Amino acid sequence: MCLAIPGKIIAITEQLDETFRKGKVSFGGIMKEINLFMVPEAKIGDYVLVHVGVAINVVDEEEAKKTFNYLKQMGEVEELESPDSTNL
């Protein structure tokens, strides 16, 4: 659960105020709603490192892809699909 997984911002979905900036982030095709509060500089198309639903850093695209492939190969991206998260 300490893992941070890189994904690509596909859309900004909500911007009620500062705290509520949210975006749709793709993790190799798995889409999640991610909070973007901690990365005010991040734009659509950027890659962000995401930990438990919150983006903590903007990362380089090539590095992000390599890291994601590594995590996927190691079977470490399953936490994106926690059983009770799917039908909130």
DSSP assignment, residue 83? G
Please tell me whether residue 42 binds other proteins under the rule CB under 8 A: no
What is the closest distance, in whole angstroms, from the C-beta atom of residue 12 to other proteins in the complex? 16
Please tell me whether residue 38 binds other proteins under the rule CB under 8 A: yes
Q: Cα separations (Å) of 53 from 2, 29, 36?
A: 12, 16, 9
3 state DSSP class of 73: helix
Closest by CA to 12, choosing from 20, 24, 29, is 24
Please tell me whether residue 13 binds other proteins under the rule CB under 8 A: no
| Residues at the interface with other proteins (CB under 8 A) | 1-4, 17, 19-20, 32, 35, 37-40, 49, 51-54, 56-57, 59-60, 63, 66-67, 69-70, 73-74, 79-85, 88
